[in-house]
Amino acid sequence: MAIIGIDLGTTNSLVSVYRNGRPELLSNELGQYMTPSCVGVLEDGSVVVGAVAKERLITHPGETAASFKTWMGTEKTFSLGGRTFLPHELSALVLRKLAQSAQAALGEQIDEAVISVPAYFNDNQRCATRLAAQLAGLPVKRLINEPSAAALFHSRATPQEERRLLVVDFGGGTLDVSVVDCFANMVEIVAIAGNNRLGGNDIDRAIADYFCQQTGLVWSELDAQQQRQLLSLAERGKTGLSQAGSRGCILACQLGGETLSAPLNRELLSGLCQPIFQQVKEVIVRGVRDSGIPISAIHDVVLVGGSSQLGVFVDYLEELFSKRPTLAEHPEHTVALGVGLCAGIKQRDAQLQDLVMTDVCPFSLGVATCNDLQDVNPHMSTLIPRSSILPARRTERFYTLSPYQRRIRLSIYQGENYYAADNLLLGELSVSVPPDEAGKQSVTVTFAYDINGILEVTAESSGGERRRTVILNPRLNWSEEEINRALERLNALPDQSLPREEDLLLLSRAERLFAELTDSRREEAADIILRLTQALQSGSSIRLAQERENLLRHLEELEAWAQRDIWEPPFRDEDDEEDEEEI
Ligand code: ADP
Ligand code: MG
């Protein structure tokens, strides 16, 4: 029985499995652990997912989508090559691809998957994730919070003493913070906090805005391709600055036949990031406050997620905590490895029998109530406060407000705001009560929240009527028929089959370089496209294999040149920060 773990990220997705006594990552068809969470539609209508789609983000922005996880649980549509997709449909295409790769890597059928979600995902977003798995034909019984998975892996990998950790997962589009208590084989999540719209993408955008400001460009006047090009430039500048020893660079790019450039160094980057880091700090403060643990009692701050590799981010946290945080060994892999551990627990692996993990609920859950008849704006009565340990169960009684009232209607909400209407409406339930004076009859409401973050509400009226409902996102609570229709639609989208993925990636990279380069180097990129296309058309696998190898070498050289254009001279001189030159 194969159970896989999936870290379905905003930027990158990974698959793991528990075997040989530990969680292991599985590589995709390109031999990589990370599959970019990007989906593209090719000219022939077939679908590409992963590295090829990521390349095409720049060359074909109208046919490619990324960061759609940010919109999970909403009805925002993405238009790709004339077809529209909902965020969970795009996620389904990513999951389908991951499952195919995993199946190929394992050589066996995938029976089940455990998927991680940001701790701060609300009910809508969790339901959308389940729906995506359903559309991908992947049975999913368990969702796990990303920071809990990271904490689980981290605590297993470090010595078994009692430790309180603050785990910060800073990815491409989300920030998740959790306070964790680890003792022997027990991992207890004490509190979680997060922001679903904060990540490395915001840093890229801040750098791109700065670049526009320096070069006189106006962001809103750029077309989609140019915006992508700038974001990609910004990302490269950012990641380059986190390499050891690098202090500065010149961001340079060709736009509309002109070469534009602006300097970037750690100090500038740190300044640009301050508003973003300020928001990170707010989330950390909320998480620590909720945990009730004084900051001095936290033994270690553990950083995971791609964006935690940003040097200025680590510096910022070091100053905040007056101590150096621990950067996980492979910060982009930690969550996936933790989900792999969960897959092992689900598989009931003997070595994991004694591992216990408890999680908490990310949002408060309650019902809308009024104080009296004059009260027109109902407020939220909380049954399960946020950070309650899961599973959680609470019961409360509510009384009638008007004389001879026949029914009590319960509106169920999730969120922290005083007025119910400012929170997320999860569902409604109504029970009948015997006619009586106001305040005489009542309904007893029980909330049961399970480890997957699924809420079951039971209401029993004083008249004896009993109603039970499992709260599912009403907008995403699709009928079997609707799911089948969506499945048919997605299955009708052919997967890209020819040429092979690695050739398609080579072609897409060459196309992207063509868009980025100029003059004779641009012609070289064009030549690569032409020669590979001819080799593909020749039908000779020997010729194709030879060409592939040569062209890949040439492409790598072009890529290095394109990067060098930006990076040289490297500013590794410790004493002279101002020493920036354009090439
Ligand atoms: P997600 O969980 O959202 O899928 P990841 O954990 O894979 O994301 O992180 C992706 C983010 O990490 C991107 O915004 C990327 O630019 C950023 N990133 C990757 N490597 C580095 C680096 N060396 N320095 C700074 N940021 C990085
Ligand atoms: Mg992540």
pLDDT band at 371 (very low <50, low <70, confident <90, very high): confident
Q: Which helix (H) or strand (E) holds 84?
A: strand 83-85
Q: Which ligand is located closest to the Cα atom of residue 174?
A: 1
The Cα 331–Cα 305 span in angstroms is: 5
**Tens of pLDDT along 534-560?**
998 888 888 999 999 999 999 999 988
Q: Which two tokens stand for residue 392?
A: 């959680």
Q: How many alpha carbons lie under 13 Å from residue 527 in its C-beta half-sphere?
A: 13
Q: Which of 287, 238, 244 is nearest to 265 (CA)?
A: 238
Q: Which ligand is located closest to the Cα atom of residue 34?
A: 1
The Cα 8–Cα 553 span in angstroms is: 32
Strand partners, 254: 259
Compute the distance from residue 540 Cα to the ligand 1 centre, in Å.
40
Q: Is a pLDDT exceeding 70 seen at residue 476?
A: no
Q: What is the pLDDT of residue 472?
A: 57
Q: Which atom of ligand 1 is nearest to the CA of 242?
A: 24
What is the CB < 6 Å shell around ligand 1? 9-12, 171-174, 199-201, 235, 238-239, 242, 305-307, 309-310, 332
Q: What is the pLDDT of residue 582?
A: 39
Compute the distance from residue 578 Cα to the ligand 1 centre, in Å.
28
In contact, 471 and 481? CB cutoff 8 Å: no
Q: What is the pLDDT of residue 510?
A: 93
Q: What is the pLDDT of residue 330?
A: 93
Task: Please choose from 35, 71, 196, 239 the residue to mutate so as to test ligand 1's pocket, defined by most ligand atoms within 8 A of CB.
Answer: 239
The Cα 299–Cα 294 span in angstroms is: 11
- Report the pLDDT averaged over residues 256-267: 88
Task: Please choose from 7, 8, 11 the residue to mutate so as to test ligand 1's pocket, defined by most ligand atoms within 8 A of CB.
Answer: 11
User: Nearest residue CA, atom 23 of ligand 1?
Assistant: 239
User: Which residues keep their CB under 5 angstroms from ion ligand 2?
Assistant: 9, 171
The Cα 109–Cα 103 span in angstroms is: 6
Q: CB neighbours of 203 closer than 8 A, spacing ≥ 6?
A: 234, 238, 272, 273, 276, 307, 310
**Tens of pLDDT along 74-125?**
889 999 988 999 999 999 999 999 999 999 999 999 999 999 998 888 888 8
pLDDT band at 478 (very low <50, low <70, confident <90, very high): low
Q: CB neighbours of 313 closer than 8 A, spacing ≥ 6?
A: 170, 273, 277, 280, 303, 307
Q: Which ligand is located closest to the Cα atom of residue 69?
A: 1
Q: What is the pLDDT of residue 473?
A: 52
**Tens of pLDDT along 396-444?**
999 999 999 999 999 999 999 989 999 988 888 889 999 999 999 999 9
Cα 333 versus chain centre, distance: 13
User: Nearest residue CA, atom 26 of ligand 1?
Assistant: 307
Strand partners, 165: 180, 300
Q: Which of 186, 160, 189, 162 is nearest to 355 (CA)?
A: 186
- DSSP-derived letter for residue 479 is -
Q: What is the pLDDT of residue 577?
A: 44
Task: Please choose from 7, 307, 308 the residue to mutate so as to test ligand 1's pocket, defined by most ligand atoms within 8 A of CB.
Answer: 307
* Amino acid letter for position 394: R
Residue % of the chain over a pLDDT of 70: 94
Compute the distance from residue 109 Cα to the ligand 1 centre, in Å.
31
Strand partners, 414: 365, 424
The Cα 16–Cα 14 span in angstroms is: 7
In contact, 284 and 166? CB cutoff 8 Å: yes
- DSSP-derived letter for residue 207 is H
Q: Which residues of 306-324 are buried (b: 16+ CB within 10 A; e: fewer)?
A: bbbbbbbbbebbeebeeee
Q: Is a pLDDT exceeding 70 seen at residue 564?
A: no
In contact, 356 and 185? CB cutoff 8 Å: yes
Contacts 24+ apart (CB under 8 A), 489-493: 489/89, 490/89, 490/92, 490/93, 490/96, 490/135, 493/41, 493/45, 493/46, 493/47, 493/83, 493/93
Q: How many alpha carbons lie under 13 Å from residue 129 in its C-beta half-sphere?
A: 29
Q: Which helix (H) or strand (E) holds 255?
A: strand 248-255
Q: What is the pLDDT of residue 570?
A: 45
Q: Which ligand is located closest to the Cα atom of residue 311?
A: 1
Strand partners, 468: 458
Q: What is the pLDDT of residue 497?
A: 65
Q: Which of 548, 554, 583 is nearest to 568 (CA)?
A: 583
Predicted structure pTM score: 0.86
Strand partners, 384: 365
Compute the distance from residue 466 Cα to the ligand 2 centre, in Å.
42
Q: Three-state SS for 159?
A: coil
